[in-house]
Amino acid sequence: MARHLITSAIPYINGIKHLGNLVGSQLPADVYARFQRGRGNEVLFLCATDEHGTPAELAAAKAGKPVAEYCAEMHEVQARIAEGFRLSFDHFGRSSSERNKALTQHFAGRLAETGLIREVSETQMYSAADGRFLPDRYIEGTCPNCGFESARGDQCDNCTKQLDPVDLINPHSTISGSTELEMRQTKHLYLCQSTLKDQIDDWIESKSDWPVLTTSIAKKWLHDGDGLQDRGITRDLDWGVPVKRGTEDWPGMEGKVFYVWFDAPIEYIACAQEWVDAGKGADWERWWRTDKGADEVTYTQFMGKDNVPFHTLTFPATIIGSGEPWKMVDYIKSFNYLNYEGGQFSTSRGRGVFMDQALSILPPDYWRWWLLSHAPESSDAEFTWENFQASVNKDLADVLGNFVSRVTKFCRSKFGETVPEGGSYGPAEEALIADITSRLARYEANMEAMEVRKSAQELRGIWAAGNEYLQSAAPWTAYKEDPDRAAAIIRLSLNLIRLYASLSAPFIPDCSATLQEAFGLESLDWPQDVAASLAALQPGMAFSVPENLFRKITDDERDAWQEKFSGIRS
């Protein structure tokens, strides 16, 4: 049994996320976790809410609530929505947990001991209108590299270039909007990433199987311009992990907190501790400490491309620099962006579909299937209502749903709600078994490689093979002359449904559960041999005809939703 540690990028606490956020990390991570569990492997799938830093403070202020109260409420909201999309986290933690505070302070202490933290006196943006220093994310302006007008003081989300607030053109405070900013003296801690550049470079070079998107971003930060720079890891904020050196106070750092991008990835480890604290598991160290068994774990991270620099550079620098035997990530699966109807999702304009809105319209399987089958892997992808409607209607309703409906209803009408006996498999069945065997091998290979779109294509091909067989074998015609032949066709087709329930579970778990219940199966075993799997349901076994698995989206619904989420106000 292999052991898989899986983490997805932890979402900011500041509001409900859109479909692009979902498909860029959490959803493909869930598919991979479900696939590995289905294969009988041991999985620990972790995620959390990212609750510190500027986004949390700004969102809480806008909501008129204390930041701690706001974060607690939004954690519950995000947890419910994740549940609604059937994200199978073993634990969904919080970066504001006491576990993460202690672990962050521990890492800071270790890095200080190894000489990898230095104190820097620097000038920082101060807003007289706000009466405070402005951390990077409290400042926005135009990116000097690409011209993006909403670049933040730490990074441009459009071109991913690392920035300092002074680099921005026409900077302004995101709190008050004031442009009357001045530079004042303050002191901060810096992580000496540059000291670890060669070690990080060698580590990244050793990952020859990583996606090009992941390594190209990492190498750009390592080698472009002046190369990997030391990074500030403290901020002048009220909300966050207090700056301490282990359990000791850090003189000169009173009133400061650690930068959110320092403490947030550490929550991956803390989340495993929270998992144990919650009574959901035991022995978190066997997942995270290589001296406790984590050297036998395969660790995979899923994230959008904007998160890649911190997971390939800053967090590894923290882990390596600590000098302790922590598990390093083995594979980083990164994604491009999902756009919406020719533009970007926009919370402020109400443009695009957000996760709670999606679930209010249609069940999760509809969204999971479209998003995964159109995952933005090799390039940015675009959501359009026409494409969504076509994919749901053709793939889910016409291919899978129609097959299940035709087979079960025909069986009920001619043989009753039990697997029929009689007849035997012939050349048509042998050809189908051979075809699905080869398709299954490709499906599994793509899933192991985390090629999400290719996996979805192969899964659809397996569904389609059943339809083609059913149409060619025509049990409704065979029944008139040879009921035993019809019985054999239907028996194989019912077993195909059982096979589909197992193979489809990573992508459309609700549908899979419905089929499992219809056949009274206690569990779904991953097929080791297609021929054996297609004989698992024996004659006389009872089943029930499931309700219509997927309904078609009408043109009127499509048009109404397209208008509703356009961001255009009448």
Instruction: Record the tokens describing residue 552, joined without a space.
Output: 């078609």
For residue 319, the one-letter residue type is I
Nearest in space to 175 (alpha carbons), one of 261, 231, 237: 237
Nearest in space to 130 (alpha carbons), one of 240, 54, 231: 54
Q: From residue 38, give the alpha-carbon distance in Å to each of 42, 271, 431, 449, 509.
A: 10, 23, 26, 16, 12
DSSP state for residue 305 in the 8-state scheme: G
Was 347 annotated as part of a binding site?
Answer: yes
Sheet holding 132-133, edge to edge: 132-133, 117-127, 181-191, 231-232
Nearest in space to 94 (alpha carbons), one of 78, 83, 81: 78
Was 159 annotated as part of a binding site?
Answer: yes
Q: Alpha carbon 454 to chain centroid distance?
A: 17
For 311, left (φ over 0), alpha (ψ -120 to 50), or beta? alpha
d(CA 391, CA 542): 32
Was 271 annotated as part of a binding site?
Answer: no
Instruction: Record the tokens describing residue 556, joined without a space.
Output: 């009127």
d(CA 19, CA 17): 7
- Count the helices and strands in the chain (H runs, E runs): 22, 18
**Contact, 452 vs 31, CB < 8 A?**
yes
Residue 242: beta bridge partners?
257
d(CA 280, CA 520): 28
Q: Largest Cα–Cα distance in the chain?
A: 92
Provide DSSP, 181-249.
Answer: EEEEEEEEEEE-GGGGHHHHHHHHHT-TTS-HHHHHHHHHHHHSTT-S--EE-EES-SSS-B-EETTEE
Was 511 annotated as part of a binding site?
Answer: no
| Three-state DSSP state, 168 | coil
Contacting residues for 364 by C-beta, under 8 A, at least 6 apart: 84, 85, 86, 510
d(CA 69, CA 53): 15
Was 47 annotated as part of a binding site?
Answer: no
Residue 69 burial by Cβ neighbours in a 10 Å radius (0-12, 13-18, 19+): exposed
Question: How many CA atoms within 13 Å lie on the side-chain side of 454?
Answer: 15
Q: Which residues are annotated as a binding site for Zn(2+)?
A: 143, 146, 156, 159
Q: Which residues are annotated as a binding site?
A: 143, 146, 156, 159, 347
Q: Which residues are annotated as a binding site for ATP?
A: 347
